[in-house]
Amino acid sequence: NAGVTQTPKFRVLKTGQSMTLLCAQDMNHEYMYWYRQDPGMGLRLIHYSVGEGTTAKGEVPDGYNVSRLKKQNFLLGLESAAPSQTSVYFCASSYRDRGNREQYFGPGTRLTVT
């Protein structure tokens, strides 16, 4: 199993450009999450999904949109990138089963907006 994968691993954008980050998991997890990590901070939740076709806002959702058209994929979009969105982005997934709450993380995407 590949686990959780993220595409791309690195990206540099200019202010105002758009892009989509792709997260894919092959563990048949129901729940998926997007976090961002800034220097000196822990990870903060951007958006999450509890199932195919459903999404919800997290702690820092402004400037981002998400979609979960397929159970295994969770896309994070930046419509008009801003320097404040320079960060490392992590995707994670987990089972819905109450007995197993471990989140599995992808390797991260380092995004720089100039």
Partner 1 sequence: AQTVTQSQPEMSVQEAETVTLSCTYDTSESNYYLFWYKQPPSRQMILVIRQEAYKQQNATENRFSVNFQKAAKSFSLKISDSQLGDTAMYFCAFMRANSGYALNFGKGTSLLVTP
Given the rule CB under 8 A, which residues bind partner 1?
31, 33, 35, 40-45, 48-50, 56, 58, 88, 90, 92, 94, 101-103, 105, 107-108
Q: Which is nearer to partner 1, 12 or 50 (CB)?
A: 50
Work out whether strand 31-37 and strand 87-94 pair parallel, antiparallel, or are unpaired: antiparallel
Q: What minimum distance in Å lies between the beta carbon of 88 and partner 1?
A: 7
| Residue from 89, 79, 92 nearest 111 by CA | 89
Q: What minimum distance in Å lies between the beta carbon of 92 and partner 1?
A: 8
The span from the CA of 66 to the CA of 77, in Å, is 6
DSSP symbols for 64-95? -EEE-SSTTEEEEEESS--GGG-EEEEEEEE-
Q: What minimum distance in Å lies between the beta carbon of 98 and partner 1?
A: 9
Q: Which is nearer to partner 1, 41 or 69 (CB)?
A: 41
Q: Which is nearer to partner 1, 17 or 52 (CB)?
A: 52
Q: What minimum distance in Å lies between the beta carbon of 90 and partner 1?
A: 7
Enumerate the β-bridge partners of residue 4: 25
Q: What contacts 107, CB < 8 A, 6 or more positions away? A: 5, 6, 9
Q: Which is nearer to partner 1, 19 or 45 (CB)?
A: 45
